Amino acid sequence: MTDSLSIKGSNGRIKLVSIELTNRCRKRCSWCYNSSSPEGKTFWRPEILAAFIKDLAANGIEAVSFGGGEPLEYPHFWELMDLVREISVFKSMTTNGLEIGPETPKRLAETLRKVHISIHDPADVPGAILSVQALSKTGIRTGLNFLIKGEDEKAEMKAARQLREAGIKPEQVIFLPLRGEKSGVPPDYLKLVALEFSPKFQSTFCLLGCKKSGRFASVDWQGQAGWCSFTEARTRMEEFTYRGMMKAVEAKEMVSCG
């Protein structure tokens, strides 16, 4: 039985799985952790993904989050949504919002229960707020992932205030520090910006140190699994099932993203 699989060094059973649908994305961010590009690729066929997600749900996974790259640039996105709609698992997505058109929120709400918009630059904030407002009208839960890069303190602090003034709630925003040996943002700087938004703010649990959560696993656009979305320590799954994922994540210890 799959329940016999151990989770080495973790604090409990995996409950959430993040799945990169593709590394295709038209934004061309220089710091992108998975080297996304407009010419991006994907291993995943929608029927393989749907069967994988169904098996995850059958083995106790409570939530699946779709990402990328840009998930809305995955060529089979809407076919996948149709295939997974009835699978009993909490389904969410993280998107840069660029592909959200007038009809997109309603279509997403047919399958997804939550959508997070990524803010990669202070200039992204007005568009992100509009996307959140449009999605909220459908009844879908919304959130914002605000990447703090430390390149322009005044602009990032102003952007945080814009979110507060737009009525965005503290529980809707996650502040993420840019990772990397040459560009890592220290916790004190992230806190400085976040406090412009709210005295109580959310960030990643590993903000103060690299560690696996024990409740989370990440699967990339090539069918490789690891303990974290940012780690380079990944192993190709031998089979696209819960068991295959657990064997892959346990094959390597997590490597810090910097």
Write out pLDDT tens, residues 175-192: 988 875 545 788 899 999
Whether the pLDDT of residue 31 is over 70: the answer is yes
201 φ, ψ (degrees, to nearest 5):
-135, 160
Nearest to 166 by CA among 123, 202, 122, 128: 128
pTM of the model: 0.87
Q: Are 179 and 147 in contact (CB under 8 A)?
A: no
Structure tokens belonging to residue 215: 């409740």
Whether the pLDDT of residue 254 is over 90: the answer is no
Mean pLDDT of the chain, nearest integer: 88
The band of 106, judged by pLDDT with boundaries at 50, 70 and 90, is: very high
Show the domains of the chain with their CATH numbers. Answer: 2-249 (3.20.20.70)
Query: Which residues 6+ apart lie within 8 Å of 1 measured at CB?
Result: none
Q: Which residue has the higher pLDDT, 206 or 43?
A: 43
Calpha distance 169→198 (Å, rounded): 9
For 11, counting Cβ atoms within 10 Å of its Cβ (0-12 exposed, 13-18 middle, 19+ buried), the class is: exposed
Range name among 34-38, 64-68, 172-176 with the lowest pLDDT average: 34-38
**Percentage of the chain with pLDDT > 90?**
70
Calpha distance 225→18 (Å, rounded): 10
Cis peptide before 143 (omega within 30 of 0): no
Whether the pLDDT of residue 245 is over 50: the answer is yes
